[in-house]
Structure 1
Amino acid sequence: MASLKDVAKLAGVSLMTVSRAINTPAKLSPETYDKVRQAIDALNYVPDLSARRIRGDKAGPATLGVLALDTATTPFSVDIILSIEKTARERGWNSLVVNLFDDDSAGQTVDLLLAHRPAGVIFTTMGLREVRIPPKLRDQPLVLANCFTREPAVASYVPDDEQGQCDAMRYLLARGYRRPLCIHLPESIPAAPLRRAGLERAWRQAGLPREQLLQYHLALGDQHYLDVPSIIERHLHHGRPGFDVLVCGNDRVAFVAYQALLARGLRIPQDVAVLGYDNMVGIGELFLPALSTVQLPHNEIGRQAALHLIDRREHLQRVNIGCPLLARASL
């Protein structure tokens, strides 16, 4: 990583001038400031805000930097952050979380994180996403958590959505369910095709014809969760369901489905069983009856991502973390 001295040398100015360009640019002429700014950009220099590092004291604990895209600001995946922090503390490390919002300048946010000189960076997102690596992170020890990239040579830890849905479907088949109605997430959401592929794989391996599967994808946008009742309505005949289990793309779909089924006098699971996905924090067991769902392994994803950096793992592959079925009263 470039130093203040490197910037001064490239710009042909003193260390004091570089310091002024960073902290009090109004004290410099526009020409001098532009010269220093160009050197900073050319070297990808990030100001070092860590007093410990400035003093050269490296005896303290190392720090994991966490760049959190929506992860720390929603209840759905905050367990990733908590697991990273817990794992870091167990190993004698610190962790520092910097939130990245969709309308932020990624470059400035990354600068803020790197200014604290972390020993490694975990880039994590809410919900499985494909991401682009900010340029200044490419030369850092880096691992992705709950996200992936098409760029080479970056390790990632993600939920095994395909296998999780496959295992859940096998469980349903083993208990005699043969007429599923499947309401998947929008096709553009990365987890959706994986979960559908897992479901179809289990169905195919059971020797059942694909045309017996009733499958729908919701349109993109939260308002389309309200399309669930109309999908269910299409498959009710004289008030009775033409399906024996409702396989939901996530627990929010299941929440709307419960209301639609119960409002029509249908009993869960006696008339229709319901399966969700995600195990939303603190929600599944508040359904009446308790919702059966598939657990997103956020704790383990956070733990493995932290250990990847702490243990200096060398592999650069995508690692799928198992998603276990939580069978409750809705089946």
Structure 2
Amino acid sequence: MVKIVAISLSDIAERAGVSVKTVSGALHGGSARMSDDTRLKIKSIAEELGYVTNLAARGVRQGWLPLVGVVSDGLITSPFATEIVRGLDGAARNAGMAVFAVNHSSGQEIGAVLDEVRQFRPRAVAYAAMYHKEVAVPQKLVGAVGVMINCREAEGRITSLVPDEQGGAREIVRYLLAAGRRRIAFINLPGIMAGVLREKGFHAALTEAGVAPLGVYPAVRRSVYSDRAPSLVASHVEALLHSGDRPDAILCGNDRVAMEVYAALARAGLCIPDDIAVASFDNQVELASRLDPPLTTMALPHRAMGRLAMEILLAGELQEPHLRTLPFHLVERASV
């Protein structure tokens, strides 16, 4: 059996001819002052000896480990999880930190999940949701969460980062109008915050341009949108095509709805965008880029939210809780 010998800070200090405090400062970002040459020398010796930071011991000294915990409200099952996690992880790595997530299942007490996260002694904790919604955090737990990602704390007691749903809708409608489209229908996502706010932006942009909407239609039969609910998309498209004022553009609540619109228009023998333009929200790249023609859509700012959340968590400065909206990004493809 090969015996693994743990290299200590004292071993490195002895080899480098400096104090243990200086070694700790070079390797762990402590307060010890030293020249760049000394810092590089210490890091070189540590690498040569195979030193690995003892995170448990460091956690005992500091009271926290170089970790950021994420309470994941359905995020792991979301196609956008990758973008939020990439934003978090990239900013964390730059600060010498790591990210871990614990899932918050429906019906599970948020306090129990936070306790599970905090037992790992993270430096900070974020709460991230798979879609834009309000989250009720008990008063006694408000101080345990540093930032909300893609959701908002119901009473505004925690800084929250959310997509600018109204602004995104205004931008895509203005884009359709600039392309010469004037008869625009909206097949929206009922019963969720994103749908409500996007509908406001939709109407605002049309009112601003002096154009009347052809209507807003729910994508599913249920009062709250779910991609598993019975779809109404095909019937809405058929009714619009047989109305006295056929649309020249259809805005869709998400890329899945847009895919159904594509299929309905194809069955009717119509061409996108020559007969009817189609635009959407989300930018699920594997879907939007593979539709024929590729779909023009508004990309959610998930990676930007992840990056900004990590910056807030690592800043270590107390801030007044606030709601910050981040802009969508228009992805122009061939459907408009």
Q: Could you say which TM-score interval applies, normalised by the shorter chain? A: 0.7 to 0.9
Report the counterpart of residue 235 of structure 1 in structure 2: 240
1:1-331 equivalences in 2 (<5 Å) = 51-52=56-57, 56-58=60-62, 62-134=66-138, 137-140=141-144, 142-186=146-190, 188-208=191-211, 210=212, 212-218=213-219, 219=222, 220=224, 221-224=226-229, 226-237=231-242, 242-313=246-317, 314-331=319-336
Query: For residue 193 of structure 2, what is the amino acid of its counterpart?
Result: P
Letter of the 1:183 partner, please give it: I
In structure 2, how many angstroms separate the alpha carbons of the residues matched to 1:149 and 1:60?
Answer: 25
Give 1:225 shift. 5.6
Change (3 A) 1:200 1:225: farther
Instruction: Please give the secondary structure, in 2, of the residue aligned with 1:269.
Output: coil
One-letter amino acid of the structure 1 residue matched with residue 332 of structure 2: A
C-alpha displacement of 1:281: 4.2
Return the offset for 1:215: 1.6
Rounded Cα–Cα distance in structure 2 between residues aligned with 1:176 and 1:88: 45
Alpha-carbon contact 2:74-2:103 (below 8 Å) kept: yes
* CA distance in structure 1 between the aligned counterparts of 2:145 and 2:80, rounded to whole angstroms: 27
Q: Which runs of 4+ in 1 moved over 4 A?
A: none
Q: Distance in 2 between matches of 1:287 and 1:151?
A: 41
User: Following TM superposition, by how much is the alpha carbon of 1:76 offset from its aligned partner in structure 2, in angstroms?
Assistant: 3.0
Note if contact 1:225-1:256 (Cα within 8 Å) is conserved in structure 2: no
Are the counterparts in 2 of residues 71 and 81 from structure 1 also a CA contact under 8 Å?
A: no
Would you say the 8 A contact 1:61–1:92 is kept in 2? no
| Alpha-carbon RMSD | 2.2
Q: What displacement does 1:235 show? A: 1.6
How many Å separate the matches in 2 of 1:204 and 1:92?
49
CA distance in 2, matches of 1:184, 1:59: 48
Q: Conserved in 2, the CA contact under 8 Å of 1:72 and 1:81?
A: no
Using the TM superposition, give the Cα deviation of residue 51 of structure 1 relative to its aligned residue in structure 2, in angstroms.
3.8
**Under a length normalisation based on structure 2, what TM-score does the superposition of the two structures give?**
0.77
- State the Cα distance separating 1:135 from its structure 2 match: 5.2
Identity within the alignment, %: 34
Q: Report how far residue 241 of structure 1 moved.
A: 7.5
Q: 1:224 to 1:52 in 2, by over 3 A?
A: same
CA distance in 2, matches of 1:127, 1:319: 16
Q: Is the 2:182–2:248 Cα contact (8 Å) retained in structure 1?
A: yes
Q: Tell me, what secondary structure is at the counterpart of 2:207?
A: helix
Tell me how far apart the structure 2 counterparts of residues 66 and 322 of structure 1 sit (CA, whole Å): 23
How many angstroms does 1:98 deviate by?
1.1
The whole-number CA distance in structure 2 between the counterparts of 1:278 and 1:230 is 23
> Any idea what the Cα deviations from partners look like across 1:209-263, whole Å, max 9, x if unmatched?
x4x432212333435462101011112239x980100110111110111111111
For 1:60 and 1:133, locate their aligned partners in 2 and report how far apart those are by CA, in whole Å: 23
What CA distance in whole angstroms lies between the structure 1 residues aligned with 2:132 and 2:263? Answer: 27
SS in 2 for 1:128: coil
Kindly tell me: are residues 284 and 303 of structure 1, through their superposed partners in 2, closer, same or farther at Cα, counting changes over 3 Å? same
May I ask how many residue pairs the two structures share in their alignment? 277
Q: What are the ranges of 5 or more consecutive residues in structure 2 without an aligned counterpart? A: 1-54
Change (3 A) 1:237 1:96: closer
- Residue 125 and residue 141 in structure 1: after superposition, are their counterparts in 2 closer, same or farther (change >3 A)? closer
1:184 to 1:225, Cα distance in 2 relative to 1, 3 A: farther
Q: What secondary structure is seen at the aligned counterpart in 2 of 1:109?
A: helix
Whether the aligned pair in 2 keeps the contact of 1:66 and 1:122 (CA below 8 Å) is: yes
Q: Distance in 2 between matches of 1:224 and 1:178?
A: 31
Task: Output one character per residue of 1:25-45: Cα deviation in whole Å (capped at 9) or x when no partner.
Answer: xxxxxxxxxxxxxxxxxxxxx
Matched residue of 1:88: which SS? Answer: helix
SS of the equivalent of 2:166 reads helix
Shift of residue 83, structure 1, vs aligned partner = 1.5
1:57, distance to aligned residue in structure 2 (A): 2.8
